[in-house]
Amino acid sequence: MNTALNLAYHAARAWIDGLDDRSVAATAGLSDLKQCFAGPLPPDGSSAQDVIRALVRDADAGMHGSAGGRFFAWVIGGGLESALAADWLVATWDQNAALYSASPASAVIEETAGEWIKELLDLPRDASFAFTSGCQMAHMTSLAAARAALLKRVGWSVEEDGLFGAPEIRVLTSDQRHVTIDRAVRFLGIGHNAIEQLKTDGDGRVSPAVLDGALSENSTPTILVLNAADLNIGACDPFKDLIPMAHSAGAWVHIDGAFGLFARASRTYRHLLDGVETADSWATDGHKWLNVPFDCGIAVVADRNAHRTAMTSNASYVAPVTIARDQLDWNPEYSRRARGVPVYAALKELGRNGVEALVDRCCAHCASIVEGIGKLPGAEILARPTLNQGLLRFVRPGASPGENDVFTDETIQRINATGEAFFSGTTWRSRRAMRVSVVNWRTSDQDVKRAIAAATSVLKSEAATPVD
Ligand SMILES: *Cc1c(COP(=O)(O)O)cnc(C)c1O
């Protein structure tokens, strides 16, 4: 039966089965892709089968194999089988998971998934939560709650009166923060100028002395944003020291734990995040270390009232219920897909022990890649992973730092061009570096060997080429 759905199923199966053999990097360029997809709006339609056949045929070469085990750029997970299958069902059921009354099963499954996440990450069990589109929107949701709570304390209702004429808020945050913090601050009308950057120490962490200095400067209502694993080296701020200081100064503490919060599931790594549970809000992702398909962030907020105040909506026709959880009381969207369902599936497939094994395995693989490439002639280790993130740099004898920046970027490009592994570059302490980020459940020992072999062959051929 060649229905569009069957075609899509077979294409999906072939995609997954082919991940080991295809080039990890997309092989089609912009002009190839434009040739396939750009053009005028068709005046008449075509059959659903033809649409899917053409999509499968034309999109393939323009896709990175990021769902596979040798994609180490940025922080991108793959889809666990149960989570991917559940995601298909979510699309198929096509529920509006805004309210219990609009999709009873979705509401209950998402509520359970949220409770399980708090348990897994060992966050306060009475905290509220929301499944958002990503960590970006989880920051926005959490910081909207922070804004509501801080301004309420000084007698201002931002929900009623907006921000024109409101008391100021300042945002203290690490110089190693992710850019989504700045965007959330901007979306919330607080503005970039309210951000005060805290200088990190040699380990990439905000020190108590630096925080103390910033807190004692003035008494403006303050949001402190800390890293539960920064994007370059996975550094976690010293929560046990910083959070009590911030709280005694009346600050709201928000945690960016996009991937790092999942280290809480590992007995080996959770000590890196000791004390993080005493913060006021946490943002993380399902689509990174938990390996559910994209479109899944998670906000958790200790002050349920502040969270609800910031997000709830009342309209006469929505029939709110008091017996069940309505997602729109906690989420910034209105109509929405039940993106907590793949989280439920992933947690059920893995269980607590499976998440722990996934975290431990990724960290071990990251260490093996960093050590394996780091010992090659022409490579240097900039940051050994303490978690699942490490940094390498490529250098030529006698070259200037600037020349080695260029050489590092070129080497990354050449490794990616082998199709055997895919890495991204970053600027860290003013130098270009290659990031090694491992969060995919599929990454195996064999994948690690192939990635190191790809770097070996590129560095060998570069060594044979004279410096110009
Ligand atoms: C990926 C990432 C984000 C942003 O998450 P999205 O899901 O892309 O919105 C924020 N912070 C850190 C540390 C990240 O790694």
- Phi/psi of residue 391, each to 5°? -130, 135
pLDDT score, position 410? 98
Ligand 1 atom at minimal distance to the Cα of residue 178: 11
> Which pTM does this prediction carry?
0.96
Any atom of ligand 1 within 6 Å of the Cβ of 447: no
pLDDT score, position 273? 98
- Does 418 reside within a domain? no
CA of 287 to the centre of ligand 1 (A): 10
pLDDT score, position 318? 54
- Does 407 reside within a domain? no
CA of 135 to the centre of ligand 1 (A): 5
- Is the separation of the CB atoms in 260 and 204 below 8 Å? no
- Domains held by the chain: number: 1
Rounded distance between C-alpha atoms, residue 72 and residue 178, angstroms? 18
CA of 35 to the centre of ligand 1 (A): 32
- Does 444 reside within a domain? no
Any atom of ligand 1 within 6 Å of the Cβ of 343: no
The b-or-e profile of 104-133 (16+ CB within 10 A means b, else e) is: eebbebbbbbbebbbebbebbeebbbbbbb
- Does 413 reside within a domain? no
- Does 120 reside within a domain? yes
- Of 297, 362, 335, whose CA–CA distance to 133 is shortest? 297
Ligand 1 atom at minimal distance to the Cα of residue 297: 7
- Does 211 reside within a domain? yes
Any atom of ligand 1 within 6 Å of the Cβ of 246: no
Rounded distance between C-alpha atoms, residue 236 and residue 147, angstroms? 24
Rounded distance between C-alpha atoms, residue 307 and residue 181, angstroms? 18
What is the enclosing helix (H) or strand (E) of 377? Answer: none
- Does 357 reside within a domain? no
Any atom of ligand 1 within 6 Å of the Cβ of 256: yes
- Does 242 reside within a domain? yes
Q: Report CA Rg, the chain.
A: 24
Bridge-based pairing state of the strands 222-227 and 170-174: parallel
CA of 176 to the centre of ligand 1 (A): 13
Any atom of ligand 1 within 6 Å of the Cβ of 435: no
Any atom of ligand 1 within 6 Å of the Cβ of 134: yes
CA of 136 to the centre of ligand 1 (A): 6
CATH number at residue 162: 3.40.640.10
Ligand 1 atom at minimal distance to the Cα of residue 260: 13
Any atom of ligand 1 within 6 Å of the Cβ of 254: no
Any atom of ligand 1 within 6 Å of the Cβ of 330: no
Ligand 1 atom at minimal distance to the Cα of residue 230: 13
Q: Whose CA is nearest to atom 12 of ligand 1?
A: 258
Instruction: Write out the residue range of the structural domain in which residue 230 sits.
Output: 84-347
Pocket test for ligand 1, best of 226, 227, 231, 255 (most atoms within 8 A of CB): 231
pLDDT score, position 438? 98
CA of 181 to the centre of ligand 1 (A): 9
CA of 294 to the centre of ligand 1 (A): 12
10-residue mean pLDDT profile of the chain (468 residues): values are 93 97 97 96 97 97 97 95 98 96 97 98 98 98 98 95 96 97 97 97 97 92 98 97 98 98 98 98 98 98 96 66 88 96 98 98 98 97 97 96 97 98 97 98 98 97 78
